[in-house]
Amino acid sequence: MKFEEYNISPEIKKNLSKLGFRRPTDIQFKAIPSILKGEDVLAIAQTGTGKTAAFAIPVINMIDARKRIKRPDGIKCLVMVPTHELAIQLTDVFIQLSRHTKVTTFGIFGGVDQEPQIEKLNKGVDILIATPGRMFDLRSQGHLRLERIETLVLDEADHMLDLGFIKDIQDLMRHLPKKRQTLFFSATINQKIKKLAYSLVDKPVRIQISPKNPVAKNVNHKVVFVSMDDKRFFLERIHGENEGKKILVFVRTKVRAERVSKAMGRVNIDSITIHGDKDQKSRNQVMNQFKTGEVKLLIATDVSARGIDIPDVDIVINYDLPEQAENYVHRVGRTGRGKNRGNAYSFSSKEEEELLVEIQDFLGEKIEVLEIGKESYRATIDFSSDVSGDIKSLMKEIEDHEDRSRKKHKKKKR
C-alpha cells in the first residue's frame, strides 16, 4: 500500500512525496489506521523504523481536517520527549510533514531563554513538543493551558520512565481532558511501561510488538574483547580504517566523554562531545557539526542517545557497554536507519562481562564476536600515534631490560 492510497490530506501526501516517502514502514502501516480511528496505541518498534512519522502523519491530518471546518483554540496535541535534541528533531519532522496545511507546531525545552517560547505560545500553536522540565515550568507559571488537548503522545516512553518522569506524567494527566487519545511509542517495552500505559487509558490499548530481536536487520553488530586501557587504540584504528565515515561513540559518563575526546586529540583525530553538562547552544552547535559532516566523530553519553537522529551515521561504537541492556538497542539503532545499512562495534573489557551477558539475555541471542589475533591486537597498540602509548611501550621495554639485567646479575653471583 502506498501513501497515495491513504485517506489523508493532499498536502500531507505531497510533503511525503517530496521527502521521498512512497510506502509506509511496518510500524506506520500498523499504527496510522488505528490512530486515525481515534484508538489509543502502544507501539513498540525498533529504532530507525519510522516511529515519529507513524504518529505525526495521522495527528497532523486530524488537526488539519478539524481546522478546515472550524478554527479551534488552544493546543490540540502534546508530544512529550525525554531530551532537548529529540524535541528539536521531532519539531522539524512535524513542520516538514505539515507544510501547506493549517497546522502549526512548536517545540519547547530547557537550557534556553523561556521568553521567546512564551511569546510563541501566546500567539497559539496546534501541536506542542516538549521536554517535561520546561513544560511543567511554563504550566506552573500560567503560560501553558492543557485543557483543550485531544491527543497525548509519549515518545521514547521507556526512557521517560528511566529518567524518573513517572510522577510528572501522572500529575500531567490531572490537567488533561479525560476524553482524549493517548499514544505510547518506544523501541523497547517493559512491565513499567505496560503498567503506566494501562493506568492512563480507559479503553483497550492496541499493542504493536517488535520482532524477537529488537536490533534492526540493517545493523551488523559485533562485540570485540578489548582491555579497558586499550580501548582508545581500537577507536583510533576503526577511525583510521573508515576515513570519511560518520562514527558515533557512546561512553558511560560525561567525564569519560571528555577524556576519550582528548585521547583522540593526541592522535590528531578531530572529535566533539555531547552530554548533560553542555548548554543548549553548545549542544545545537555539536549536532550541526556532526549532521553536516564538519566533524565526523561524535562522543556521547546515553542521555543524549535518544536525541541523535542523524540518518547517515555509518558506525556506532559502544566504547563502554551500557549499564542498562535496553540502552544497547537505542545506541546501535542510531545507525542502519531506514533503508541504510550500518555497523556497530562493542568494546567489552573483562570488567564488563556481566553487562555483556545482560545485553545478550535481553536480545535473546549471542552477539557475534569479532576475533582479533594476538599479533593484530599488539599491532593496534604499537602502531598508534598516541605519544602516551609510545611512552607506555617504552617503559615496558625498560622494565623488561632491567628485569633481564637483574637475572644476569644473580647468575654471576652464583
Q: How far apart are CA 120 and CA 272, in angstroms?
A: 32
Q: Is 152 left (phi over 0), alpha (psi -120 to 50) or beta?
A: beta
Residue 404 included in any domain:
no
> Could you tell me if 281 and 173 lie in one domain?
no
Q: Domain boundary at 162, 188, 208, which? A: 208
Q: What is the reported pLDDT for 402?
A: 56
Residue 244 included in any domain:
yes
> Could you tell me if 317 and 379 lie in one domain?
yes
> Could you tell me if 107 and 139 lie in one domain?
yes
Residue 369 included in any domain:
yes
CB 349 within 8 A of CB 227: yes
Residue 263 included in any domain:
yes
> Could you tell me if 247 and 286 lie in one domain?
yes
Which DSSP string corresponds to 285-339? HHHHHHHHTSS-EEEE-HHHHTT---TT--EEEESS--SSHHHHHHHHTTSS-TT
Residue 91 included in any domain:
yes
349: CATH: 3.40.50.300
Per-residue pLDDT of the chain (414 residues; tens, 9 = 90+): 789 889 999 999 999 999 989 899 888 999 999 999 999 988 887 667 788 999 999 999 999 998 887 766 789 999 999 888 889 989 999 999 999 999 999 999 988 899 999 999 999 999 999 998 899 899 989 999 888 899 999 998 777 776 677 778 888 888 888 889 999 888 777 777 777 777 777 665 676 655 566 677 889 999 999 999 999 999 999 999 999 999 999 999 999 999 999 999 999 999 999 987 888 788 889 988 998 999 999 999 886 656 566 768 999 999 999 998 888 988 898 888 777 889 999 999 999 999 999 999 988 889 999 999 999 999 999 988 875 544 455 445 445 555 655 655 555 455
Q: What is the reported pLDDT for 325?
A: 87
Cell numbers found for residue 258: 571528555
Q: What is the reported pLDDT for 35?
A: 93
DSSP state of 276: T
Q: What is the reported pLDDT for 209?
A: 56
CB 80 within 8 A of CB 155: yes
> Could you tell me if 305 and 227 lie in one domain?
yes
> Could you tell me if 135 and 262 lie in one domain?
no
Q: Domain boundary at 208, 228, 259, which? A: 208
The domain tally of the chain equals: 2
CB 22 within 8 A of CB 71: no
Residue 407 included in any domain:
no
Q: What is the reported pLDDT for 212?
A: 60
Q: Which residues of 380-390 are buried (b: 16+ CB within 10 A; e: fewer)?
A: bbeebebeebe
How far CA 121 is from CA of 282, 304, 316, 341, in Å, comes to 25, 26, 38, 40
What strand order describes the sheet that includes 77-80?
105-108, 127-130, 77-80, 151-155, 181-186, 41-44, 206-208
> Could you tell me if 231 and 360 lie in one domain?
yes
Q: Which distant-in-sequence residues (6+ apart) come within 8 Å of 339 by Cβ? A: 218
Q: Amino acid identity, residue 371? A: E
CB 41 within 8 A of CB 183: yes
Cell numbers found for residue 74: 488552544
> Could you tell me if 100 and 174 lie in one domain?
yes
Q: What domain range is 13 assigned to?
A: 3-208
Q: How far apart are CA 333 and CA 351, in angstroms?
A: 25
How far CA 299 is from CA of 53, 97, 271, in Å, comes to 27, 30, 7
Q: Domain boundary at 160, 183, 208, which? A: 208
Cβ neighbourhood burial of 65 (10 Å; 0-12, 13-18, 19+):
middle
> Could you tell me if 190 and 225 lie in one domain?
no
β-strand pairing of 247-250 with 315-318 = parallel
> Could you tell me if 122 and 196 lie in one domain?
yes
> Could you tell me if 40 and 155 lie in one domain?
yes
> Could you tell me if 202 and 224 lie in one domain?
no
Residue 411 included in any domain:
no
Residue 390 included in any domain:
no
pTM: 0.70
